[in-house]
Structures are given as C-alpha cells and as structure tokens.
C-alpha cells in the first residue's frame, strides 16, 4: 500500500494533458490549483497506515489474501459493506470534502458483479480479464476514477439516434488487438489525480446502441486523452490567500473534469463490455446503488465537521449554551444521524451476488441518496443560521494585514476573551466554503439527481404487495391468520358479531 506521500510522488510519473482557465497543464502533481484535491486523495492512502484506522481502511484481497487499501477491495461480506461506509464517514471527518476515490471503488465492484453475470449468460471472458486488471489495481494500490456520465446531447434521443455520435462515448473501431473509443465523459471526480480511468456506460441501452455499450480501463495518460478541469465556487481564492479559501488544505468537492477520448486504443485485456447492451441497465444500477449508499457516510462525515464548526462559532461568541443554539445543533445532529442510519441500513441489508461479491440493498441506497439531496441543504441552512451574516461579509485576509486598518478590523470581529480573531475568520470561512459553494449541488446531483433515485424507488416499491396488505387489513382479501385466530371463516365471525349487537327498539 502506498503512503500519502508515495501517492503524490506516483502522480509525478504521469504525463497528462489538462486544460484549466485557458492554460495547458502537464505537471498535475505540482499545479497549485490542484493541490487541495491531491491532498484529499492522499488521505485515503495515508490513513491506511495508521494502526487506529487499519481495520476500516484496509482489507484482505479475495484474489491473493494480501493486505490492501479498502479502496481497491471487492466487498465480500456484510462487514465489508459496513466498513466501507465507516471509511467514508471517517474520511469526511478528516478532510471536510469529497475524497474522490469511492467512484472508482464502486466502478470496480459493479464491474466485478456484472462481468460475472455477462460471462455466465454469454460465455464471454470479461470477468477473468477484469480480475487480472483488479489484481494490478490492488497490488499497485492504484486510484481509479469511475467515469460514467456522458454529455448526452439531446436527452430525448437514444445514443444511436444522436446527430452527434460523440454525445456518448462509443466504440469507433474494433481491431484484432482491441477497440478504439471516441467521445467524452463529464463531471468525472478526481480523474486528473488518478492512475486509471474505469469507464462505464451511462444508461440502459437497446440493440441499436450496441457500440455505446462499452466498459474498459485505460491509464489516465493513454494517448488521445485530454482533460478540461472544472471551475468551482471561489476556487481562485486558494491562490490568493489561505485564510480566505475556507478549507485551504482539502478544498471543496472533489475536483471534476471532462475527459475527451479522441480515438483512444484499449487492448482487449482491458475491455469489460463491448456491445452487450442488455447488461448496461444492470451495470448502471449496480454502480449507482453502491455509490448512492456512500452518501450517508461521506456527507455525514462532512456534517460532523460543519456541526463542530457551528458549535465552535457559537462558543467563540459566547452563545454555545443558549437554548436556541442547542436546539439548532441538535436538529443538525439528528438529521445527520438519520442519513448515517440509512447508509448503515443499506449495508446491513446487503446480499451476496452470484459473483460472490456483496451488494447493498438498492431500495435503501436510493432512499439514502434522496434524503441527502434534502437533508444536506437543511443542516447547511442551520449552520448558516448559527454562523450569522458574517460568512458572506468577511473582509479579505489582505485587509487584515494592512497596518492602517488591520487592528480596527480585528477589533470588529473579536469574540470571547481568549479566542484569536484569525481563528474566528478560519471557522467562518470554513462554514462559508462548506455551505455556500459547490458542495450543495454536488450533494444534489452526485451519484445521480433526485429524479433518478425516485425512479428506482418507485420501480422497487412493491406497490402491488402494499395494495394486498391494505386489501387484507380492510377485509377485501381473505385474511387466513385472522381466521385461524378467531377459529372460523371471517364472514361467519362477522355474522356472529352482528347477531350479538343489541337491536334498537
């Protein structure tokens, strides 16, 4: 397993072509704008070496029994699923942001299950190829970026109906050695500081879409791949002043990029789906389920940070014990623990798949993510309420440093005796960073937008069964248990009851 430092060093060996703010960047590991995202991903490596977190952060490979970072593990028990979400909460607490590596972990697990199912049905050999790739990921402790979302063009049209074929990543050519892929993937978390891209289809596909039904792995610096890194709220502050940035070490959300694939060659041993359109739906659903189950872990870790910040700010201003503050903090905690309960429930209600890997409970995973799309906004709203208007009116660090007004400003923002004004600034900026910026829409749309979760919840709701419950309780359907309890058919029972009701004169 790599340490955090070794991971950063490993990025220096990669030769990427990244564009950001009109500039071409090739040395990702040394680009100042990317540093916080790299530090956050490095934490997924570093914590695996801490004996305190070893049980959560590491696992034993089912392939060769070696001790590996849990971010490369295929879940093989309920305990694995539970430890995965514990790991997510822990990393959220340590970084206060998205630590990126889970998308690749979920892509690995989804492909493990689906390639097995494909081979069983079609007699293909994808699963064995995938196991060979997985062994490399585990042995080298690689960070994989799961790449699912396509640009999608006109969303009323299927991939094969699009005027622009590059609206969906697709196979442009097949050769005896492999496939050539063309198109793009959008919003890909952590990809510029990963080692491998693990690409998956983005939706269910039909027979006409077979060329778009493609899954594979390529090194991030494979020829023909370019990246365009996305902007984030207040991102340039990190280059201006650490105090103004809010979370200068780890930043805000995961660092997303568009990946452009311009006729990229993928050898057959790294291809895990090439035309099996009938498996796209289950692959997407399996990946989405794994990823949605995470959100009550990582986002609740972030909630722990923002709840701590809210209490700190209230305390620094002498109101930590005020009943309305205690009440608000309690609401935040209850909301966060509700989401945590959801993630735990997904894991404890998990099941073994035919591949031997364990999957979460998909209904509960979708409920988890749907709750997150609402409850993160609610606890961040309360954090803003407690922090006060200062989070949007603070002056810049540079003004604090001006000899003519710096001291006056410090006096304006002083709180309780003994609390450093700079620390008050740091904490208010942290709440600003976490509650005003990109973290909120990320909670809404990451792992799929709320409508996607509602479709899955409706599809799995078992509404017919619920109707039967209602019909049985209402006395429309035969209630065998009731008849056993009363010792006679229900009709006879009610005739008997009616006969005993005294007649009115």
Binding site for ligand SF4 (CB under 6 A): 88, 98-100, 102-103, 189, 254, 294, 298, 446
Closer CB to ligand SF4, 101 or 203, in the complex: 101
Helices marked H in 388-487: 397-400, 406-412, 421-436, 439-445, 450-459, 463-474, 480-486
**Beta carbons within 10 angstroms of residue 25's beta carbon:** 18
Closer CB to ligand SF4, 146 or 246, in the complex: 146
Q: For residues 179 and 172, give the distance between their C-alpha atoms in angstroms, rounded to a whole number.
A: 8
- Least distance from ligand SF4 to the Cβ atom of residue 190, Å: 7
Closer CB to ligand SF4, 146 or 178, in the complex: 146
Closer CB to ligand SF4, 85 or 316, in the complex: 85
Closer CB to ligand SF4, 298 or 428, in the complex: 298
Q: Would you state the structure tokens that stand for residue 444, as one six-digit string?
A: 């809404």
Q: Which CA distances in Å does 290 have to 76, 105, 357?
A: 14, 9, 12
- Least distance from ligand SF4 to the Cβ atom of residue 269, Å: 27
Cβ(226)–Cβ(202) below 8 Å: no
Q: Which CA distances in Å does 483 have to 93, 285, 332?
A: 55, 42, 48
- Least distance from ligand SF4 to the Cβ atom of residue 91, Å: 7
Query: Do the bridges between strand 144-147 and strand 196-199 make them parallel or antiparallel, or are there none, so unpaired?
Result: parallel
- Least distance from ligand SF4 to the Cβ atom of residue 189, Å: 5
Closer CB to ligand SF4, 162 or 293, in the complex: 293
- Least distance from ligand SF4 to the Cβ atom of residue 242, Å: 23
Three-state SS for 101-161 is: HHHHHHHHHHHHHHHHHHHHHHCCCHHHHHHHHHHHHHHHCCCEEEECCCCCCCCCCCHHH
> What's the CA angle centered on 65, arms 61 and 67, to 5 degrees?
65
Closer CB to ligand SF4, 248 or 254, in the complex: 254
H or E stretch covering 69: strand 67-69
Closer CB to ligand SF4, 364 or 386, in the complex: 364
Cβ(299)–Cβ(229) below 8 Å: no
- Least distance from ligand SF4 to the Cβ atom of residue 254, Å: 5
Q: Would you state the structure tokens that stand for residue 137, as one six-digit string?
A: 């990921």
Of the candidates 67, 50, 51, which has an alpha carbon nearest to the alpha carbon of residue 59? 67
Which residues are catalytic, by number?
A: 98, 102, 189, 256, 291, 295, 298, 442
Please enumerate in sequence order all residues whose Cβ is within 8 A of that of 203, keeping only pairs 6 or more positions apart, or say none.
159, 280, 281, 284
Closer CB to ligand SF4, 88 or 394, in the complex: 88
Please enumerate in sequence order all residues whose Cβ is within 8 A of that of 141, keeping only pairs 6 or more positions apart, or say none.
1, 2, 7, 45, 68, 69, 72
- Least distance from ligand SF4 to the Cβ atom of residue 299, Å: 7
Cβ(237)–Cβ(82) below 8 Å: no
- Least distance from ligand SF4 to the Cβ atom of residue 395, Å: 32
Q: For residues 69 and 138, give the distance between their C-alpha atoms in angstroms, rounded to a whole number.
A: 8
- Least distance from ligand SF4 to the Cβ atom of residue 423, Å: 27
Please enumerate in sequence order all residues whose Cβ is within 8 A of that of 108, keeping only pairs 6 or more positions apart, or say none.
72, 74, 134, 137, 144, 198
């Amino acid at each position: 397993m790599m340490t955090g430092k070794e991971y950063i060093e490993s990025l220096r060996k990669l030769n990427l072509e990244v564009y950001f703010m009109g500039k071409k960047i090739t040395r990702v590991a040394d680009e100042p704008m990317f540093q916080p995202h790299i530090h956050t991903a490095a934490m997924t490596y570093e914590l695996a070496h801490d004996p305190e977190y070893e049980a959560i952060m590491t696992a034993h490979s089912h392939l060769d029994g070696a001790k590996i970072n849990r971010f490369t593990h295929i879940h093989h028990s309920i305990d694995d699923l539970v430890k995965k979400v514990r790991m997510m909460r822990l990393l959220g607490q340590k970084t206060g942001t998205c630590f990126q590596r889970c998308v690749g972990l979920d892509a690995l697990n989804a492909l493990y299950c689906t390639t097995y199912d494909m081979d069983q049905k079609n007699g293909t050999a994808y699963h064995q190829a995938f196991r060979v790739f997985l062994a490399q990921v585990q042995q080298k402790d690689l960070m994989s970026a799961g790449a699912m979302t396509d640009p999608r063009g006109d969303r009323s049209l299927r991939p094969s109906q699009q005027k622009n074929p590059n609206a969906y990543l697709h196979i442009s050519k097949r050769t005896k050695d492999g496939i050539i892929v063309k198109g793009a993937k959008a919003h890909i978390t952590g990809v510029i500081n990963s080692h491998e891209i693990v690409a998956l289809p983005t939706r269910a596909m039909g027979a006409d879409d077979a060329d778009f039904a493609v899954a594979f792995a390529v090194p991030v610096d494979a020829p023909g791949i370019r990246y365009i890194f996305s902007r984030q709220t207040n991102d340039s502050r990190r280059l201006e002043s650490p105090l103004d940035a809010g979370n200068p070490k780890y930043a805000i959300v995961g660092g997303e990029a568009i990946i452009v694939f311009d006729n990229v060659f993928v050898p057959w041993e790294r291809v895990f789906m090439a035309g099996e359109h009938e498996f796209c739906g289950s692959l997407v659903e399996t990946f989405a389920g794994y990823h949605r189950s995470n959100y009550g872990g990582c986002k609740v870790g972030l909630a722990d940070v923002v709840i701590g910040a809210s209490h700190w700010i209230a305390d620094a201003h002498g109101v930590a014990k005020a009943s309305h503050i205690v009440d608000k903090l309690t609401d935040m905690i209850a909301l966060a623990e509700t989401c945590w309960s959801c993630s735990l429930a997904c894991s404890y209600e998990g099941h073994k798949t035919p591949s031997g890997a364990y999957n979460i409970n998909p209904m509960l995973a979708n409920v988890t993510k749907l709750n997150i799309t609402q409850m993160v906004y609610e606890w961040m709203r309360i954090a803003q309420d407690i922090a006060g208007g200062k989070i949007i009116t603070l002056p810049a660090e540079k003004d604090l440093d001006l000899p003519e007004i710096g001291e006056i400003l410090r006096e304006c923002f002083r709180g309780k005796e003994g609390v450093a004004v700079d620390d008050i600034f740091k904490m208010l900026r942290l709440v600003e960073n976490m509650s005003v910026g990109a973290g909120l829409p990320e909670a809404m749309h990451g792992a799929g937008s709320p409508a996607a979760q509602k479709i899955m919840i409706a599809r799995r709701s078992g509404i017919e069964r619920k109707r039967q419950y209602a019909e049985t309780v209402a006395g429309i359907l035969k209630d065998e248990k009731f008849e056993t309890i009363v010792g006679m058919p229900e009709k006879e029972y009610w005739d008997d009851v009616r006969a005993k009701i005294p007649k009115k004169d």
